[in-house]
Amino acid sequence: MKIVADTNIPFLKGVLEPFAEVVYLDGRAIDRAAMSDADAIIIRTRTRCNAETLAGTRVKMIASATIGTDHIDLPWCAAHGIEVCNAEGCNAGGVADYVFSALYGTASRHSIKLDGATIGIVGVGHVGKIVEQMARSLGFRVLLNDPPRAAREGDAAFVDLDTLLEQSQVITLHVPLDSTTRGMASEAFFEKMQPGAIFINAARGEVVDESALLHARPKLGALILDTWCNEPDVNPNLIEVCDIATPHIAGYSYQGKQNGTAMAVQAVARHFGIGALLDFAPQTETEALKPVSVHLQGKTQGEIAAILQYNYPIFTDDFLFRSNPGSFELLRSEYNYRREFYID
């Protein structure tokens, strides 16, 4: 059995070698030629999987160590007998940590009062649910928009998008990228937002119309972006007007990466019947890398900001990216994974 894997997936090297020939390549180099005689591939979002790259190859299994699947042509794979597994929810905790470290850090820098604010969460899946829990524990009024969930569960817990935009002082996106969400943050979207509202996107870059965002920027109180259109060739003008700009690393927590790799390896193990790896999970004995609980009840906004910055100094990531936007991929591949924190 032969497996081709993205060399930037952590905790993977040496795990599958007892059971298969494993070839490691940069994600962008995993093309049709590289896949031609592979039985399975283990990838991130940087590898495109469609008819152009897969037709005529031996690939029967794709394991993505990421939550998204917009880099994979799912209907084509299903029609050609290729099983696809993604690591849904693996980095939810890390993204939620990013949202609140960024939110409180930016509010502190600009003297924005968050007490009594309403936060609108667009997309309430794995990530959105944790963002919701953290927001409620911090005393925010929370509005939720998730049409697929509302259709399944009823409208009681959700509001329509217009209501959310009109009533929220903070809006954070956590939707997958598909035909219904591509470009959803449009000119009309930003027109409905309150003047001075904070906008956060740690979902996918293409859910935002960047021209509309640039046009709306003077209206916004703060702008926090982790994802961009045309990554890694991001728009420098958009970086310049951000309060926090980072290179798609919101989910790059130590625990998130452990989860993503574990889910990918387990999927390969199930497909090929590798019993020894069905429960595979990377471990660490390093105390400084283990998740930590933070106590924020009764703290002032300034105290909360200081505690969150101590646990995730997000302005360091902003500085490194802003100093050299061309290092987008290098910053990702050499990122020093941070530990997650939880609000008790």
Task: List the CATH number of the domain containing 337.
Answer: 3.40.50.720
In a shared domain, residues 324 and 211? yes
Identify whether 215 is a catalytic site residue.
no
Residue 238's domain spans which residues? 92-251+297-343
State the DSSP H helix or E strand holding residue 211, giving kind and residue range, or none if neither: helix 210-216
Whether the per-residue pLDDT at 285 is higher than 80: the answer is no
Global pTM reads 0.90
Domain shared by 241 and 112, yes or no: yes
Per-residue pLDDT, averaged over 162-174, amounts to: 98
Residues in the chain: 344
Q: Where do we find the tokens 């390969």?
A: 268
Same domain as 171, residue 77: no
Would you say residue 86 has pLDDT above 80? Answer: yes
* Strands of 194-316, DSSP E: 198-201, 222-225, 244-245, 292-294
Residue of 83, 88, 231, 329 marked active site: 231
Q: Is residue 177 part of a domain?
A: yes
* Catalytically annotated residue among 149, 204, 338, 339: 204
Catalytic residue among 71, 248, 338, 339: 248
| Residue 248 designated active-site | yes
Same domain, 140 and 180: yes
Count of structural domains within the chain: 2
Q: Is residue 197 part of a domain?
A: yes
Final residue belonging to a domain, choices 33, 59, 86: 86
Find, among 294, 208, 229, 242, the residue nearest to 102 by Cα.
Answer: 242
Q: Which DSSP symbol is given to 335?
A: -
The predicted structure's pLDDT at residue 157:
95
Residues 123, 173 within the same domain: yes
Tell me, yes or no, if 58 is annotated catalytic: no
The average pLDDT across 45-62 equals 95
The average pLDDT across 90-97 equals 96
The CA distance from 22 to 13, in Å, is: 9
Final residue in a domain of this structure, among 69, 86, 103: 86
138 with 61, same domain: the answer is no
